[in-house]
Structure 1
Amino acid sequence: MTQRVVVGGALCHEGRLLAARRSAPPEVAGRWELPGGKAEPGESVPEALVRELREELGVETEPLERIPGEWPVRPGLVLHVWTARLVSGEPLPLEDHDELRWLGPDELDSVDWLDQDRPAVAEAGRRLRGGA
């Protein structure tokens, strides 16, 4: 079975990481994730990240580097996370989310992350603390 990639954006700005609260589907509503979405056929993962963050948040971003690892979302779907820099715009919860929060490295445990996002969030937090 071919696996499709879901790309999550560890969007960092001024030393903080953007968290997005899901509004749907019901089984994950109210939990937090790194915003992003599925890569389309023929689209590179960094291209998908830029498109998804534009669609979901209304911002322009620049993908920086992939956080090592991949995490299963559901059968046939695997999460890759890239760090990204905010280029322009102010993130708004346009699709699939009802709240956004900028979290500093010491605030990352203050929200209930989706299980598959936790390892990448932890790594993004380490990078925030290290100034990367």
Structure 2
Amino acid sequence: MRHVTLLTIDATINLLLGVLLLAFSDGLASLLGVPPAAHGFYPNILGGVLFGIGIALLMERRNKTGVGIGLGLGGAIAINLCGGLVLCGWLVFGDLSLPLRGLIFLWFLVVLIVGISVVELVTGFQGNRPDA
């Protein structure tokens, strides 16, 4: 099987699993016959990360050199942004009822993960400019 075909299949699997976990609910767990989660928080975070991996794999398959280079900076950005933004969504809309230290810790993670992605994006774009 060709490298691009395998990456496409892997990306599709990760994207589908990511969407499935992002939509995780007790009803979906019952439908699929899997154990329910006490809270959708962890399945959703994992779904965001898997979705990011799927995007990163699609980016890698566009590599025209034919040589696998790993997911690289673009992949790291995709994974971090998807995971960080899902966590942010939970903190804003999730009614998590966490103690203050938990909220501070999770918001710190959002700022750290999304922040490094923004730095990577800016650095990546500057590195691609002809005058850089």
Question: Structure 2 length normalisation: TM-score?
Answer: 0.23
Whichever structure has more strand as a proportion of its residues is: 1
Q: Which has the higher contact order (CA 8 A, sep 6+)?
A: 1
Bigger Rg, structure 1 or 2: 2
Richer in helix (by share) = 2
